[in-house]
Amino acid sequence: MTDQTDAYDISFYQLTFSLHAAAMQHMGKTISPLTGKIERSLEMAKNSIDMLEMLQKKTAGNLTADEKKMLDHFLYDLRMNYIDEVKKGDSPPEPEEADSKGEQTGSGKDEAGPEKDAPPAEEAKE
């Protein structure tokens, strides 16, 4: 006979793990299994975190020690990653923003090269 006080309820584990995985995917931390691309939506990530927080409140006092520890760990991990992503901003800076500072970011550098070459190419066509 197994001791249930330290065991995971597999359904609870699957639910919490799937919400954790969804939040990480929405933060752009993992690749979408559907598209094979990094997709970022902080709003959707926050929704998954909020659902885990709701589960934590609704199940308070009813979880095994291991289930509580797992849920606490998932929420801590997601909150720290969410804060990191919010600090990065919701979208990359626009090229105009990079130009107004007089500095170009790494991604702007690649975009600026073709733009500089574009006017001579257009003049050559005329």
Cα–Cα distance measured from residue 112 to residue 94, given in angstroms and rounded to the nearest whole number = 12
What is the residue extent of each domain of the chain? 4-88, 96-125
Cα–Cα distance measured from residue 33 to residue 25, given in angstroms and rounded to the nearest whole number = 9
pLDDT tier for residue 81 given thresholds of 50, 70 and 90: very high
- What are the CA-CA distances from residue 107 to residues 42, 43, 55, 90, 95 (Å)? 21, 24, 40, 16, 9
pLDDT digits (tens, 9 = 90+) for 23-32: 999 999 999 8
* Token digits of residue 43: 């709003």
pLDDT of residue 9: 84
Angle CA 1–6–45, to nearest 5: 135
pLDDT digits (tens, 9 = 90+) for 89-126: 855 444 333 344 444 444 443 434 334 333 444 444 44
Name the pTM for this structure. 0.64
Contacts of 121 (CB under 8 A, 6+ apart): none
